[in-house]
Amino acid sequence: MTVLLSIGGIGLLYGAFHQLDTSLLIRAISANQMVVTMLIAVGFLRLFSTESMNMEKPLPVGKRSLIKTLIGVHLFGSVLNMSSVLIVGDKLARHHPISVPQSVTLLRGFAICAFWSPFFASMGMALTNAPGAQLSTLIVFGIPTGIVALAFSAWELSRQNNMETVEGFPINIQSLWMPALLALVVIAAHLNWPTVSVLSLVSLTSLAFITVWLALSEKRQGVTIAAQHIRSGITHSAGEFALFASASILAAGVAALLSSLHLQLAPSHFGFFASVSTVLILIILAVTGMHPVTSVVIAGSILAPSVTDPNLLGLTLLMGWSLGITLSPFSGVQLSIQSRYHISAYQLFKHNWRYAIVMYGFCTLILWIYTSWHMS
């Protein structure tokens, strides 16, 4: 974070001596503010736990149970974010060390959420760094991409050896009402009030849901639970929030530096080939260790002058984010799985590189379909 702040600060300082556009200073202060607000609000959803996420029933075994686990982690993860990976992973690791197929299930189920979930940081960053992008459009093209990713992952997992003895997580389909409900509420609210920020809708929906749920299920104890989360949960996420704030300074600094030097790194037009190339660059940057928050804000700053279709840029950023955290051994979810469940980065990479290639190809197809549809 210090590096991000330093680079961004140098860029802003250089621009200040070369007639810096004041809008860049405003951007440095306000950019990602709504994303941080959304992350704090969505963080309260961690207080929600369904019976299926905490049940003490014996773990089912076999390929079908692992595929159900993949879907369950994905649907819960679309709202609960990283909490779903840790809850399910800790349950699977209670009696036996987690196997590589189980770890791949956790990783894929979580990472695929980045293609479409309005509760994911990836969506917040895409909407922020592609001003004018529409949530409805991103979801319409993101959900089919996610479905194909889940289907391919399920097919890969079913072909693994000794799958009949691998344990899955006993997720009850009936208990998945919460993520489905919240996603539908946000989408419906966005369609009815398109001028209201999607990030604001996500934040308000999350806080309203957890307030009602605590009042009905915990009654007076709900206030204590919420207060404890504020003292501990939000405090422990301070590093993540600082990263987003630092990234906004970096983005403004890069934009100021490029403007002052009159450099044009973006293509003359951001179309299909530029979007496909950008997805590949984002994946490579993730593999080298760059956090997707950083790569996304840099991409947004560089490409902004040539973007005429913000939805295309939004889809590009979502795809690069999802495939990047799946393949990168330095992504937050991978580091958690590696350290918590003692799975090597090599094993995860070995089981994910084919998936990344196939999904990059499918993302290319989706981007081609979108650009063809948009131009017609």
80 to 117, 210, 216: CA distances (angstroms)? 11, 12, 20
Q: Helix or strand or coil: residue 49?
A: coil
Q: Which of 145, 124, 89, 112 is nearest to 324 (CA)?
A: 112
Question: Tokens 């979930």 identify what position?
Answer: 117
Q: How confident is the model at residue 51 (pLDDT cuts 50, 70, 90)?
A: very low
pLDDT by residue (tens digit) across 101-141?
999 999 999 999 999 998 888 898 899 889 899 998 999 99
Q: Hey, which residues does 167 pair with through a beta bridge?
A: 61
Where in the chain does DSSP place strands (E)?
A: none
Is the distance from CB of 241 to CB of 1 less than 8 angstroms?
Answer: no
Q: Which of 318, 45, 321, 65 is nearest to 181 (CA)?
A: 45
Across 226-240, b (16+ Cβ under 10 Å) vs e yields beebeeebeeeeeeb
Cα–Cα distance, 277 to 306 (Å, whole number): 14
Q: Which of 85-99, 249-263, 345-359 holds the top average pLDDT?
A: 345-359
Cα–Cα distance, 276 to 316 (Å, whole number): 7
Is the distance from CB of 299 to CB of 321 less than 8 angstroms?
Answer: no
With a cut of 90, say whether residue 96 has pLDDT above it.
no
Could you give the angle at the alpha carbon of 56 between the alpha carbons of 55 and 58, nearest 5°?
115
pTM of structure? 0.81
Q: What is the mean pLDDT of residues 173-200?
A: 80
Q: What is the separation, in whole angstroms, between the first and last Cα of the chain?
A: 44
Residue that wins the pLDDT comparison between 199 and 266: 199
Domain boundaries, the chain: 31-236+267-375
Q: One-letter amino acid identity for 190?
A: H
Q: What is the 3-state secondary structure (H, E, C) of 183-202?
A: HHHHHHHHHHCCCCCHHHHH
Q: How confident is the model at residue 221 (pLDDT cuts 50, 70, 90)?
A: confident
Q: What is the mean pLDDT of residues 218-238?
A: 72
Is the distance from CB of 324 to CB of 295 less than 8 angstroms?
Answer: yes
Residue that wins the pLDDT comparison between 215 and 29: 215
Cα–Cα distance, 218 to 304 (Å, whole number): 47
User: Given CA atoms 74, 78, 79, 85 in this order, what sign does their dihedral have?
Assistant: positive
Is the distance from CB of 123 to CB of 207 less than 8 angstroms?
Answer: no
